[in-house]
Amino acid sequence: MPFKFWKHLAIGLSLTVGMSAAHAEKVTVAAAADLKYAMADVVQTFEKAHPNDKIEVIYGSSGKFFTQIQQGAPYDLFYSADIQYPRDLEKAGQAGGKVAPYAFGRIVLWSPVMDASKMTLESLTNPEIKHIAIANPKHAPYGKRAEEALKAVNVWDKVEPKLVYGENISHTAQLVDSGNAQVGILALSLVLTPQMQSKGKYWLIPDNLHDPLEQGYVLTKRGENNAAAKAFAAYMSSPEARAVMTRYGFVLPSSAK
Partner 1 sequence: MSLLLTAEDWQTIGLTVKLATTVTFCLFVIGTPIAWWLGRTRSRFKGPVGAVVALPLVLPPSVLGFYLLLAMGPYGFIGHFTNWLGAHSLPFTFWGLVVASVFYSLPFMVQPLQNAFEAIGDKPLEAAATLRASSWDAFFTVALPMALPGFLTGGILTFAHTVGEFGVVLMIGGNLPGETRVASVQIYDHVEAMEYASAHRLSAVMLVFSFVVLLGLYAWRPNPKKA
Q: Which residues bind partner 1 (CB under 8 A)?
A: 61, 63-64, 66-67, 131, 133, 136, 138-139, 164-167, 171, 174-175, 178-181
Q: Is the Cβ of residue 147 or residue 167 nearer to partner 1 in the bound state?
A: 167
Longest dimension (CA), the chain: 84
DSSP tag of 251:
B
In the complex, least distance from residue 170 CB atom to partner 1, rounded to whole angstroms: 12
CA dist., res. 76 & res. 30, Å (int): 8
In the complex, least distance from residue 191 CB atom to partner 1, rounded to whole angstroms: 19
First to last CA, the chain: 59
Ranges of beta strands (E only) in 8-149 are 26-32, 54-60, 77-79, 100-105, 107-111, 132-135
Q: Is the Cβ of residue 98 or residue 130 nearer to partner 1 in the bound state?
A: 130
In the complex, least distance from residue 182 CB atom to partner 1, rounded to whole angstroms: 9
In the complex, least distance from residue 220 CB atom to partner 1, rounded to whole angstroms: 18
Q: Is the Cβ of residue 97 or residue 112 nearer to partner 1 in the bound state?
A: 112
Q: Is the Cβ of residue 88 or residue 240 nearer to partner 1 in the bound state?
A: 88
Q: Is the Cβ of residue 43 or residue 159 nearer to partner 1 in the bound state?
A: 159
CA dist., res. 108 & res. 116, Å (int): 9
The amino acid at residue 194 is: P
In the complex, least distance from residue 180 CB atom to partner 1, rounded to whole angstroms: 4
- Number of CB atoms found within 10 A of residue 133's CB: 27
Q: Is the Cβ of residue 70 or residue 126 nearer to partner 1 in the bound state?
A: 70
Q: How far apart, in Å, are the Cα atoms of 132 and each of 67, 105, 150, 161, 216? A: 29, 20, 12, 9, 28
Task: For residue 183, give the H/E element and its range.
Answer: strand 183-187
In the complex, least distance from residue 128 CB atom to partner 1, rounded to whole angstroms: 13
- Number of CB atoms found within 10 A of residue 112's CB: 18
